[in-house]
Amino acid sequence: MDAKTFDAKSLLDSLFENGILFESGIDGLYGRSGAFEEVIERFERLVTRLGAPDKATRIHFPPGMSRATLEKSGYMKSFPQLAGCVHSFMGGEREHAQLLGMMADGGDWTELQKATDVALTPAACYPLYPTVAARGPVPAQGLLFELSSYCFRHEPSKDPARMQLFRMREFVKIGTAEQVRSFRESWLKRGKAMIESLELRCEVDLANDPFFGRGGKMMANNQRDQGLKFELLIPVTSIEKPTACLSFNYHQDHFGRTWGLKFADGELCHSACVGFGLERVALALFRHHGPDAAAWPAAVRDVLWGV
């Protein structure tokens, strides 16, 4: 993967040519080779090893979640352009015949579908907060979770680092403001050291989420002004605009207020999370170390395969 042609198209073409990814006909949806999956598996084990001393509770969420939960979370207010909901046919035989006729004529048969109660999970942590709230008061020491989920965001692109369906690992801390800020600071250091151990050039920088519309610009500015979001950036498809592969987010008491997450004394909980974009890290490794993982630098292979 030639460093002289450092752009999204050349990387995507190389991934196809080397049988690392496979085309599906839809931008951002790709088949993954066994080699690609093995790199992700090895990286996940590395993440697990680094987080093991914290003894987080592990939860694996499905790629779908309650649509009502997505609505209540405020996601549609901030990111309607990224959300996806599952629709399904709910008619009878007459409507089925109409649907088949529309398909045969090349018409838009999807208008005969209706929204189900399932939305596609936009981030691994969204199903967590109502799950925790239903358990009652949060203990004084707070709670720590390690999450994994397939996630969806509607942003089709030729950039292989911007997939529509991708996997996310997260550590989420729910507790006092001091507890969650300390958690995030710890992972800012651990995350950078972990990526550097893989001989990937990276930097941590202040960031903001892609809030929607004109009002979103003000929200983005406020997020930056308060230092609520940092990203670990690695050049994957561009040197000038490196890719966010890890994110470190402080939600303040947003989810505490939304879901009634409180301590026994009634104080609202704060939360923070660190997210790992698994496909993006794998792409960075293939981009910088080549298409054959067996030929990667010995130090990198020792980190990923040594244990």
Query: Mean pLDDT, the chain, as a whole number?
Result: 95
Grouping H, G, I as helix, E, B as strand and the rest as coil, residue 124 is: coil
Strand partners, 89: 113
> Which DSSP state fits 263?
B
- Which pLDDT score is estimated for 162? 95
Contact 15, 28 (CB under 8 A): no
Q: What angle do CA 55, 58, 60 make, to 5 degrees?
A: 165
Q: What is the pLDDT of residues 195-213, one digit of tens each?
A: 999 999 999 999 999 999 9
Question: Does 186 score more than 60 pLDDT?
Answer: yes
Question: Does 231 score more than 60 pLDDT?
Answer: yes
Mean pLDDT, to the nearest integer, of 252-269? 97
Mean pLDDT, to the nearest integer, of 45-58? 96
Beta-sheet pairing, 57-60 with 143-152: parallel
Give the up-direction half-sphere exposure of residue 35: CA atoms within 13 A in the CB hemisphere.
17
State what percent of residues in the chain have pLDDT above 90: 95
Mean pLDDT, to the nearest integer, of 17-26? 96
Contact 170, 274 (CB under 8 A): yes
> Which DSSP state fits 4?
T
Question: Does 2 score more than 90 pLDDT?
Answer: no
Mean pLDDT, to the nearest integer, of 37-64? 97
> 118-146: buried (b, 16+ CB within 10 Å) or exposed (e) per residue?
bbbbbbbbbbbbbebbeeeebeeebbbbb
Radius of gyration of the chain (CA): 21
- Which pLDDT score is estimated for 1? 58
Going by pLDDT thresholds of 50, 70 and 90, the confidence category of residue 8 is: confident
Q: What is the pLDDT of residues 110-160, one digit of tens each?
A: 999 999 999 999 999 999 999 999 999 999 999 999 999 999 999 999 999
Report which residue type is found at 37: E
Mean pLDDT, to the nearest integer, of 267-286? 98
Q: What is the pLDDT of residues 82-120, one digit of tens each?
A: 999 999 999 999 999 999 999 999 999 999 999 999 999
Question: Does 6 score more than 80 pLDDT?
Answer: no
